[in-house]
Amino acid sequence: MPTLNANGLRIAFDTAGDPKAAPLLLIHGLGMQLTDWPDEVVEGLVELGFYVIRFDHRDSGLSTKFDHAGAPSLTLARLKAAVGWPLRTPYGIDDMAADALGVLSALGVARAHLVGVSALGGLVAQHLAIRDPQRVLSLTAVMATSGRRGLPGPCARVRKALASHPADPARLDSVIDHAVGLLRELGSPSYPTPDKQLRKRVTRSMRRCYCPSGSARQMLALLAAGDRSAHLPAITAPTLVIHGAADSLLPMACGQDIAGHITGARLEIIEGMGHDLPPQLVERILALIDSHARGKMLPNSTPRLFVKQ
């Protein structure tokens, strides 16, 4: 896997498609790696005519780790964040956005379409669109949030799953079993990913890199970011928000909140979709991204609800 120097760090990256095509940067979520993007998503975007760029965030995959900072106490961090106390972090969302921008610069990409997924990927993409609008062709936020105080959080079942740990963290098969179970809890109830496919993807990811302390530091950066909703009206890039009606981690209200704060944003709610990118919905999601990036989707403040066929 190739690496590049960005923002003073070693960042692992991968590209697919024609470098002369429209560049599209995929920004994944908390603890996720560039290899966690489903192959059908990457291949589909290439077939649609995009130059697809993926990368590992700092503290994940094959990029630089901040092990010297240790593993934070997320319980204490959440308590501080809840009462508005400042958090000391080894880095913040602005640093992670600078990493993403550094990837584009190292590859000679002046402007790109951004697709940010989940809380971390969505927030990094939003930050880029706010801070460096001249580098952003369009913004797509998938199952993301602004972090606004008062938005609903995970359901009790998901909170319990998130707080659980592998039965034996020293055994890879135990770690994989735990990750598969967690992803199953977060997944789309109407579009379950086949077990064999999900386990294969998780196994590939865990064998490439398993760094729970890195994920904890990324979570600390998310908690420190707090409420970013007041900054969203500054986004001028054409914006598409895609969210699942059955998202049990970041409920649908989170996507509605993002779209409501950005002038002209398009909100697409997919019935039966949870907090994942199930294979049954890839074609539909790619069609939305393609239409949006090419300016064929008219701004509309009224959400369009996709119903399971």
Please name each of the domains of the chain with its CATH number. Answer: 3-152+212-306 (3.40.50.1820)
Backbone angles phi, psi at 283, to 5 degrees: -60, -40
Pick from 12, 1, 74: nearest CA to 223: 74
Q: For residues 53 and 104, what is the distance between their CA atoms, to the nearest angstrom? A: 8
Q: How far apart are CA 308 and CA 212, in angstroms?
A: 35
Give me the helices (H) in 88-194, please. Answer: 93-106, 118-131, 156-163, 172-186
The rounded distance, in Å, linking the Cα atoms of 230 and 47 is: 37
pLDDT at 303: 47
* Total-model pTM: 0.94
- Check residue 188 and give its pLDDT: 98
What tokens appear for 225 in the block? 């970011």
CA distances 243 to 67, 143, 233, Å, are 34, 5, 19
Name the 3-class secondary structure at 142. strand
Q: Give the per-residue SS3 of 199-224.
A: HHHHHHHHHHCCCHHHHHHHHHHHHH
The pLDDT value given to residue 82: 87
pLDDT of residue 216: 97
Q: Please give the structure tokens belonging to residue 229.
A: 């909703």
Task: Give the per-residue pLDDT at 1.
Answer: 82
- The phi and psi torsions of 38 (rounded to 5 degrees) equal -55, 140
Residue 90's pLDDT is 97
Place of tokens 């409920």: 251
Q: What are phi and psi of 88, to 5 degrees?
A: -90, 120
Nearest of 261, 281, 155 to residue 269 by alpha carbon: 281
Q: How many CA atoms lie within 13 A of 217 on its CB side?
A: 22
Predicted local distance difference test score (pLDDT) of residue 83? 87
Kind plus residue range of the DSSP H or E element containing 47: helix 39-47
Q: Residue 210 has what pLDDT?
A: 95
DSSP letter for 31, please: T
Token code pair at residue 110: 């002046």
Per residue of the chain (309 residues), give pLDDT as tens. Answer: 899 999 999 999 999 999 999 999 999 999 999 999 999 999 999 999 999 999 999 999 999 999 999 999 999 999 999 888 889 999 999 999 999 999 999 999 999 999 999 999 999 999 999 999 999 999 999 999 999 999 999 999 999 999 999 999 999 999 999 999 999 999 999 999 999 999 999 999 999 999 999 999 999 999 999 999 999 999 999 999 999 999 999 999 999 999 999 999 999 999 999 999 999 999 999 999 999 999 976 555 444 555 543
Torsion of CA 146, 284, 275, 71, to 10 degrees: -70
Nearest alpha carbon to residue 185 among 160, 210, 209:
160
| d(C-alpha 58, C-alpha 61), whole Å | 8
Q: Which residues of 92-121 are buried (b: 16+ CB within 10 A; e: fewer)?
A: bbebbbbbbbbbbebbebeebbbbbbbbbb
Token pair in block for residue 66:
């901040």
Collapsed DSSP state (helix, strand, coil) of residue 301: coil
Asked if residues 55 and 103 have their Cβ atoms less than 8 Å apart, the reply is yes
* Confidence (pLDDT) at 306: 55
Please give the biggest Cα pair distance in the chain.
51
pLDDT for the residue 63: 98
